[in-house]
Amino acid sequence: MPEGVSYCVQAHAAERYWPNIGFTLDTWFVLILKLGELEIVGELGLLFTSGKYSILFLTELVVGVIAPIILFSFKSVRHNRVASMLSAFLVIGGVILNRFDASWFAIKPLAGEVYTPHWMEVAILVGVVSGVFLAYTLIGRYFPLFSETVEVQDVRKPAFQPQLQPVTVGEAVSSD
């Protein structure tokens, strides 16, 4: 690889060794962590028997974890900007759904009480979602995530260029 080429471009060479799971290891980790935690506490059976809570959790797993694992396992998705962006948005959607599940949907209602979120809860949610989109946009803009965005810079030193100063007619030229 020539000098000045980003490490991100070299990372594509690693794809030969980990073609199907190399780019989704973090998503696999989330899946193993979520299901492992249910197994450790002995609540894996609740995955399909808890009514709407099971549906919410399974939707969160499918949208935010399983679908991105499947999509990112295809080389055509990893090498297509639109497909990879949509797959990444699924991960972000899974995180947002997780936050909704934990803060709004999973709160067990008390008899005769109706829960309405405070405006600050909504503001925090909007702020977190906006922050995630801002971070994703800034990282995508300023970091070389795709090989097409990497500029190869010439690292050679420029040749010596003498400093020329303008001289007017009739002035003596001083040699410093």
pLDDT in tens, 83-95: 888 988 998 888 8
Residue 166 lies in a domain: no
Assess contact for 144 and 150: CB atoms under 8 A. yes
Cα–Cα dist 77/44, whole Å? 32
Residue 1 has pLDDT above 60, yes or no: no
Residue 160 lies in a domain: no
Cα–Cα dist 110/107, whole Å? 9
Residue 42 is given by DSSP the state: T
Residue 163 lies in a domain: no
Cα–Cα dist 108/110, whole Å? 7
Residue 176 lies in a domain: no
Is the pLDDT higher at 106 or at 172? 106
Residue 129 lies in a domain: yes
- Label residue 22 by pLDDT band (50, 70, 90): very low
Residue 74 lies in a domain: yes
Instruction: Please report, in angstroms and rounded to a whole number, the separation of the first and last CA atoms in the chain.
Output: 45
Is the pLDDT higher at 162 or at 68? 68
CA dihedral 128, 133, 139, 145 (to 10 degrees): 130
Give how many domains the chain has, as a whole number.
1
Cα–Cα dist 97/164, whole Å? 64
Domain span including residue 76: 7-149
If one counts every other C-beta atom within 10 angstroms of the C-beta of residue 50, the result is 15
Residue 44 is given by DSSP the state: G
Q: State the number of CA atoms in the 13 A half-sphere of 81 facing the CB.
A: 7
Residue 171 lies in a domain: no
Residue 111 lies in a domain: yes
Residue 9 has pLDDT above 60, yes or no: no
pLDDT for res 149: 56
pLDDT for res 123: 95
pLDDT for res 126: 92
Give per-residue pLDDT as tens, 116-158: 888 998 999 899 989 988 998 888 788 776 666 556 566 666 6
Is the pLDDT higher at 99 or at 164? 99
Residue 82 is given by DSSP the state: H
Cα–Cα dist 7/50, whole Å? 47
pLDDT for res 7: 40
Instruction: Tell me, yes or no, if the pTM score tops 0.85.
Output: no
Cα–Cα dist 2/87, whole Å? 31
